[in-house]
Structure 1
Amino acid sequence: MISFLWAEDENHLIGRNNDLPWRIPADLKYFKETTLGHPIVMGRKTYESIGKALPGRTNVILTRDENFEADGCIIFHTKDELLKWSKEQQKEIFITGGAEIYRLFMDVVDRLYVTKILHTFEGDTYFPEVNWDNWSLISSKPGVKDEKNPYDYEFRIYERK
């Protein structure tokens, strides 16, 4: 199963200058808890924004750069290579960004994990358009708003109809 996991604001903004436009530690904790023990797939720019392989997960990078290397990561150069590899995995695979990678796999994704931040921010990267008619909301849980997590937000999970 291929899943997307991302956080977005009310306008579908997901990034600013190759970083997150907000600080919500509870969302980072959710990301870690959800993906731990599973393969995570990201583009080169997303990997570079993190700066290292995330522990406890198989880190997979999709890049057109044939010379790109990253310690502790599996590198693929085409969608087809990655999909072939994904069929051999016995676990849910999480695509974690960025926008170009989400767009590339929109036709094959089975599940969406969305942290919806009920606020608007400034930024430069937006999640690709989703045809919500193809998706069913299976779970929605409000996040805790407090001094460390200063925005209203919800953890939503959708499955393809």
Structure 2
Amino acid sequence: MIIMIAAAAENNALGKNNELVWHLPNDFKRFKSLTTGHHIIMGRKTFESFPKPLPNRVHVIITRQENYQPEGCIVVDSIEKAIAACPENDDSYVIGGGEIYNLALPFTDIIELTKVHHSFDADTFFPKINKSEWLLVESEENYKDEKHLYDYTYETYIRK
């Protein structure tokens, strides 16, 4: 299955200047738990925003740059080739950024969304979820605390 995983604000903001605009440690733990051991599909800018490749995951990077070949990664030039590079009988995760989410949406079976209950100034946005195409099947509210400055909700959507 193709699973899109993201954290987006109330205004669908994802980030600004290739960085997240919030810090939610529990969401990072959830991301790690869900994606570890799987293929993760991302754009080049998302990959380059990491200090190093994420451990225990196969990185599939979509880029138009020729001769771009980070060590140990699969590099392709389209979402179709990225999906084809992933095992058919396993979950693969689309992890961003905004352009990649838009390209991957038609191929996506499940959306794992962390909705951050705040609006942010951003330059990258998550696509709007069309409620006629997606069914919310799980929702878990989380509240701000000493480590989390914002309330947030884990939401799981499946394609209708």
TM range, normalised to the smaller chain?
over 0.9
Looking at structure 1, the residues matched to 80 and 144 of structure 2 have their Cα atoms a distance apart, in angstroms, of: 41
- Report which stretch shifted further, 138-147 or 58-67: 138-147
Who is 1:82 aligned against? 82
Aligned 8 A contact 1:66 1:77 in 2: no
Question: Aligned pair 1:72/2:66, yes or no?
Answer: no
What is the Cα deviation at residue 91 of structure 1?
1.3
Partner of 2:2: 2
Deviations 1:101-133 (A, max 9, x none): 111111111000000011112221111233221
- Alpha-carbon distance between aligned partners in 2 of 1:42 and 1:112, rounded to the nearest angstrom: 15
Instruction: Tell me the secondary structure at the aligned position of residue 60 of structure 2.
Output: strand
* Aligned residues of 1:112 and 1:157 also touching (Cα < 8 A): yes
Cα pair 2:13 2:125 within 8 Å, conserved: yes
Q: SS in structure 1 opposite 2:100?
A: helix
Give the secondary-structure state (helix, strand or coil) at the position aligned to 1:107. Answer: helix
> 5+ residue gaps in structure 1?
none
Across the aligned residues of Structure 1 and Structure 2, the Cα RMSD in angstroms comes to 1.3
Superposition TM-score, scaled by structure 2 size = 0.94
Q: Measure, in 1, the Cα distance between the counterparts of 2:108 and 2:116.
A: 22
In structure 1, C-alpha distance between the alignment counterparts of 2:123 and 2:105, rounded to whole Å? 20
Question: Percent sequence identity over matched residues?
Answer: 43
Runs (4+) of structure 1 exceeding 3 A deviation are none
The amino acid across from 1:95 in the alignment is: V
Deviation of the 1:74 alpha carbon: 1.1
Q: Distance in 1 between matches of 2:83 and 2:58?
A: 15
In structure 2, the partner of 1:29 is: 29
Check whether the contact 1:26–1:143 (CA below 8 A) recurs between aligned residues.
Answer: no
TM-score, normalisation: structure 1: 0.94
